[in-house]
Structure 1
Amino acid sequence: MTDKGIRLEVREDQIIAGLEKLDAANGSLSDANNAIGAYLVTSTQRRFERETGPDGKPWQRLKPRTAARRIKGRPRGYANILRVSRRLEQSIVYEADDEGIAVGTNVIYAAIQHLGGTIAMPERQQTIYQNYDAKTDTLDQTFRTRGRSNFARDVTVGAHEIKIPGRPYLGIDDADRTEIAAIIEDHYLGEDAR
Structure 2
Amino acid sequence: MAAEGIRIVVDDAVVMEALLRLEQRDRSNAINAIGAYLVTATQQRFEREQGPDGRPWQRLSPRTANARIGKTRRGYDHILRVKNRLYSSVKYQADAASLAVGTNVDYAAIQQLGGTIKKPARRQTIYQRYNPKTGDLDQRFVKRSRSNFARHVDVAAHSITIPARPYLGISDEDRAEILEIVADTERRSLAGGGR
**How far off its partner does 1:152 sit?**
2.2
Unaligned runs of 5+ in 2: none
**How far off its partner does 1:160 sit?**
1.0
Q: How does 1:51-62 map to 2 (within 5 A)?
A: 51-62=49-60
SS state of the match for residue 106, structure 1? coil
SS state of the match for residue 41, structure 1? helix
Residue 181 (structure 1) aligns with: 179
In 2, distance between residues paired with 1:4 and 1:146?
Answer: 37
Q: CA RMSD in A?
A: 2.1
Which residue identity lines up with residue 16 of structure 2 in the other structure?
I
Q: How does 1:28-107 map to 2 (within 5 A)?
A: 28=25, 29-107=27-105
**How far off its partner does 1:138 sit?**
6.5
In 2, distance between residues paired with 1:102 and 1:142?
Answer: 45
Residue 167 (structure 1) aligns with: 165
**Larger displacement relative to structure 2 (142-151 or 2-11):** 142-151
Residue 14 (structure 1) aligns with: 14
In 1, distance between residues paired with 2:17 and 2:148?
Answer: 69
**TM-score under structure 2 normalisation?**
0.88
1:108 is the counterpart of 2:96: no
Contact 2:114-2:162 within 8 A present in 1 as well: yes
SS state of the match for residue 156, structure 1? strand
Which residue identity lines up with residue 24 of structure 2 in the other structure?
G
Which residue identity lines up with residue 41 of structure 1 in the other structure?
V
Percent identity at matched positions?
58
SS state of the match for residue 54, structure 1? coil
**TM-score under structure 1 normalisation?**
0.89
Which residue identity lines up with residue 179 of structure 1 in the other structure?
E
Which residue identity lines up with residue 125 of structure 1 in the other structure?
R
In 1, distance between residues paired with 2:84 and 2:136?
Answer: 42
Contact 2:24-2:96 within 8 A present in 1 as well: no
User: After superposition, what is the alpha-carbon deviation per residue over 1:23-80, rounded to whole angstroms, capped at 9, x for unaligned?
Assistant: xxx1342111001001000100111000000000000100011111111211111000
In 2, distance between residues paired with 1:182 and 1:82?
Answer: 30
Which residue identity lines up with residue 116 of structure 2 in the other structure?
T
In 2, distance between residues paired with 1:94 and 1:148?
Answer: 43
Matched pairs, number: 191
**How far off its partner does 1:98 sit?**
1.4
